[in-house]
Amino acid sequence: MPGTHLTRFAVPRLMAEAIEPTDSASKIALLERRLARAEAARAAAEHLLEQKSRVLAAANSELTARKDSLSTSLERRTRQLLDAQRVAGFGTMLWDIRSRHLELSPQVQVMIGLEPGSAVRTYRTLVRSLLREDRRRMLQWMHHELLAGLKNDRCDRCGTNADQRVDVTCAETLREYRIEVRCLGGPPGGQDGDNVRSLCVMAQFQVDSQCRPAMIFVTVQDITRQVRADNEAAALRARELQRLADLERLNEALLVAREQADLANEAKSRFLAMMSHDIRTPLNGVIGMLDLFDESTLTTEQKRTLTLVRSSGDQLRVLLNDIIDLARAEAGKLALNPGPTNLIGVLTDGADFWRHLANDKNLSLDIVLAPDMPTWIEADSVRLRQLIDNMLSNAIKYTHEGGVMLKTRVLPQGRLRVEVVDTGIGIPAHRRTELFTDFSQLNLLGSEPGGAGLGLAICQRIIAVMDGQLGVDDAGRGSCFWFEIPVTTIPEPKRVAHPIVLSFAGLDGRVPRVLVAEDLATNRIVVEGCLRKLGCEVSVVEDGQQALIAIESGNVYDLVLMDMAMPVMDGPEATRRIRALPGPHATLPIIALTAFTRPEELAPMMAAGANGSVAKPIVIEDLYRVMAGALALPDVGAIAH
Amino acid sequence: MKGVIIAELVRWIEQAFSPAVADAVITRSKVPGDGVYTTVGNYPHTDALALMGALAEISGQPVPELADAYGFWLASRFMELYPEMFEGYTDAVTFLRDVDGQHHREVTKLYPDARTPSIVVVIDGEELTVSYGSHRPLADIAHGLVRGYIAYYGDDLEVVRDPGAPGPHAARVLVRAPARLTPDRLSAV
């Protein structure tokens, strides 16, 4: 090292003489001043150093406090992070790209079945913890995807690739690499298969200050539950799909079965309809012919026989009607035909009708009507009467001494209770449910077998349609059959007094001319007899075509009674053709005369243009009422009613 | 101003002139504190100017010449006092290049309140220009320092004070060394 670069200077002589000390005292004084300055400088330096030391000590304390605070904060945050990882079921790894050193968080170590704090330094240790079948996949992912991405991927931002290094990883740091693998880990002691954990591994590059890839930051999430839930959901879906398929097959089978049942039911309905038609037809003949007897010419014995025959015919008709009603009810086609109904009249008429039977058995038949009972209600009087008839006839049938009482009671909310109490043989409580079973008759001690056992079953169906209830109670001695129905009270309809004369003769001074088309001879005789009784002029033909010819040939008729089922040309076809004729024929009243009583069976006739229908066997009152309506005679409703 | 500049100024006067001249300069300059300076303290730069002015009056030498000589001597003192600053350097140019960027930064680390001058080194062709700028009018001392460093490393360089630099707050020193400043050397700089 060169020496000190000192350039010496000289002071002018006069100045030097004035400055430089010459004597000892001056020299000592100069030395003392220099010493004093040096002392002062030293003291000042010490003072400054002390100050700086104090400042440094204070700074050191503050730094220590801050360091402690930061350490505490760091420790707390680290603990929070580790707790968060444990609770959330994920952990982290940091992989140094240059040193290949691997740092695992404790949670990752737990996940892969290691003790927390185990030394895992390379990724190979990690890979070995995976299930054998996943190891190759993991290595391929690391080498072909992760590291290949590091080397080859082009940066989206600067456009350079990794070979050029500069800023290439700016896009890499944003990209996430993802793989799902399985390992044996988790809580020890689980059942076989329980320790298989599913892990979701996601990696992201981290760069150093020169923007070069330095670390790979990896998160590992335990997705075992999710995977199991997904698997279970998939299995459940598969089971549901299988169940759905089974149900669809079952549904198809049920549809087929239902179709077959419908067909069978339809066949049964058709059978019932045909049977009722076929039975009604000869019955019509029997009863109708009986009506034609001129009783004035018969002996007493003949009259008695005739009465018995009529009674048997009536029973047969009731039974037939019951069967048809039951068939209707089963088909859900039991409909009500409500209208103004004299409730007291229906009850008293019913009682009066059965009184002679009670009298024959020496039974009393009493009526006790509630004083607040309405007289006129809106109801189906025929069905109501059917209920009364069934209950009264049963009561009389099963009572041998004492009597029968018909009672009514008005209940709250516009309901009416009707009771038929008898002093008959009674019905044990445990057998009462059998009462309402179709074709069921209780063979009780002292009972007289008879009937088809349909009465109460039909009553129950009628009551159901009326939205009411039907039951039987113990009456102490005998039984109490009752029903409750909702009733709507109405004012009394205007009544017009007319003589009830079941004859058209003389009503308007002219005899109605009626054409009857009926293929069966017996029926023709019955119908003709009924019409003549009603005072009509009758022409008879055997089928629809003959009826059409009779009309076309210029004969004038006031009304046609047309059977439905006839050879050559049936009733609906003949009706259609008559309606198609010119002139007044188109409006000629045509009444269907048929044993078909179901609405759908009558439909073809009504659709062809018929004005109404009369059921066979013919009840002469019904015939009169329908004809009067079709002929538009005044007040026929009142007369017929 | 750092105490080392002004304390070493008193020391330089004692050595370049005499202790008695230094004593007389302190007395004549009427600086506060009677010329008691320590290298670890901070003092107004006006003290240095007052001392330099008193010295010029006593010696009859112009201030720039005295300041340049002081700077030249100070360079060698810095090497004695702070040898670590010069470790790793083998030539003056490299050292000068790093003065502002590294050495002044170190000074600022130690003394956060220190206001160091700015030194900008520009290589233009065969000329090296060292520009000095400071709020203190001590450009002549800076010139002497540059000369001192060049002399210390023994570099064969010619140092010329740019006469165009205005006032005592700034100086531009041209360092010419055609033989030494080859393009390779310059690119390394």
Q: What is the pLDDT of residues A266-315, one digit of tens each?
A: 787 677 767 776 777 777 777 777 777 766 788 888 888 887 787 777 77
pTM score, whole prediction: 0.41
Specify the higher pLDDT residue, A443 or A402: A402
> pLDDT value at position A468?
92
Q: How far apart are CA A317 and CA A191, in angstroms?
A: 80
Interchain contact, B41 vs A30, CB within 8 Å: no
Nearest-CA distance A18 → chain B (Å): 10
> Is the confidence at residue A154, as pLDDT, over 70?
no
Interchain contact, B16 vs A37, CB within 8 Å: no
Q: Does A47 contact chain B (CB < 8 Å)?
A: no
> Is the confidence at residue A576, as pLDDT, over 60?
yes
DSSP state for residue B117 in the 8-state scheme: P
Highest mean pLDDT range out of A225-234, A335-344, B104-113? A225-234
> pLDDT value at position B188?
41
- Judging contacts by C-beta atoms under 8 Å, the chain B residues touching residue A41 are 7, 36-38
Size of interface A-B (CB pairs under 8 A): 86
Interchain contact, B20 vs A30, CB within 8 Å: yes
Interchain contact, B21 vs A45, CB within 8 Å: no
CA angle A136, A141, A145 (to 5 degrees): 150
Can you tell me the ipTM of this complex?
0.81
- Give the residue from B17, B66, B149 with the most A CB atoms within 10 Å of its CB, the best one to mutate: B17
Percent of residues, chain A, with pLDDT higher than 70: 83
Q: What sections of chain B are H helices per DSSP?
A: 3-16, 19-29, 45-59, 63-81, 92-98, 104-110, 139-153, 183-188
Interchain contact, A9 vs B59, CB within 8 Å: yes
> Is the confidence at residue A53, as pLDDT, over 70?
yes
- Judging contacts by C-beta atoms under 8 Å, the chain B residues touching residue A49 are 40
Q: Name the band, by pLDDT with cuts 50, 70 and 90, for residue A574.
A: very high
- B6 CB burial (10 A radius; 0-12, 13-18, 19+): buried
**Beta strands A196-207; A177-184: pairing state:** antiparallel
Specify the higher pLDDT residue, A597 or B57: B57
> Is the confidence at residue A196, as pLDDT, over 70?
yes
Coil, strand or helix at A413: coil
Specify the higher pLDDT residue, B169 or A427: A427
Interchain contact, B151 vs A2, CB within 8 Å: yes
Query: What's chain B's average pLDDT?
Result: 80
User: What are the E-state strand segments in A78-236?
Assistant: 90-96, 102-104, 177-184, 196-207, 213-222
Nearest-CA distance A62 → chain B (Å): 18
> Is the confidence at residue A500, as pLDDT, over 70?
no
Interchain contact, B38 vs A15, CB within 8 Å: no
Arithmetic mean of pLDDT, B41-45 = 88
Closest chain B CA to residue A7: B16
CA angle A564, A624, A504 (to 5 degrees): 120
* E strand or H helix at B37: none
- Judging contacts by C-beta atoms under 8 Å, the chain A residues touching residue B33 are 40
Nearest-CA distance A29 → chain B (Å): 10
Interchain contact, A30 vs B19, CB within 8 Å: yes
Nearest-CA distance B7 → chain A (Å): 9
Q: For chain B, what's the residue count?
A: 189
- Please choose, from the candidates B115, B171, B90, the residue with its C-alpha nearest in 3D space to the C-alpha of residue A1: B90
> pLDDT value at position A171?
46
> Is the confidence at residue A334, as pLDDT, over 60?
yes
CA distances A469 to A370, A415, A557, Å, are 19, 11, 50
Nearest-CA distance B111 → chain A (Å): 11
Interchain contact, A2 vs B38, CB within 8 Å: no
- Judging contacts by C-beta atoms under 8 Å, the chain A residues touching residue B66 are 9
Report cis status (omega within 30 of 0) of the bond before B178: no
Nearest-CA distance B27 → chain A (Å): 11
> pLDDT value at position A189?
45
Contact B59, A9 (CB under 8 A): yes
Nearest-CA distance B73 → chain A (Å): 5
Query: What's chain A's average pLDDT?
Result: 80
pLDDT digits (tens, 9 = 90+) for A472-496: 887 778 889 999 999 999 988 775 4
> Is the confidence at residue A256, as pLDDT, over 80?
yes
The answer to which of A164-178, A213-227, A469-483 has the lowest mean pLDDT is A164-178
> pLDDT value at position A428?
75
- Judging contacts by C-beta atoms under 8 Å, the chain B residues touching residue A47 are none
CA angle A302, A304, A308 (to 5 degrees): 115
> pLDDT value at position A140?
87
Highest mean pLDDT range out of A537-551, B83-97, B149-163? A537-551
> pLDDT value at position B185?
44
- Judging contacts by C-beta atoms under 8 Å, the chain A residues touching residue B39 are 45
Give the B-side interface with A, CB within 8 Å. 7, 12, 15-21, 23-24, 26, 33-41, 58-61, 66, 69, 72-73, 75-77, 79-80, 148, 151-152, 154
- Please choose, from the candidates B149, B178, B144, the residue with its C-alpha nearest in 3D space to the C-alpha of residue B161: B144
> Is the confidence at residue A30, as pLDDT, over 90?
yes
Buried b (16+ CB within 10 A) or exposed e, B115-149: ebbebebebeeeebebbbbbebbbbbbbbbbbbbb
> pLDDT value at position B66?
94
**Beta strands A590-594; A612-615: pairing state:** parallel
- Please choose, from the candidates A435, A326, A325, A421, the residue with its C-alpha nearest in 3D space to the C-alpha of residue A382: A325
CB proximity list for A362: less than 8 A, separation 6 or greater = A401
Q: Does A30 contact chain B (CB < 8 Å)?
A: yes
Specify the higher pLDDT residue, B116 or A450: B116
The answer to which of A62-66, A168-172, A488-492, A572-576 has the lowest mean pLDDT is A168-172
Q: How far apart are CA A241 and CA A236, in angstroms?
A: 8
Between A2, A9, A20, which is nearest B61 by CB?
A9
The answer to which of A55-59, A477-481, B92-96 has the lowest mean pLDDT is B92-96
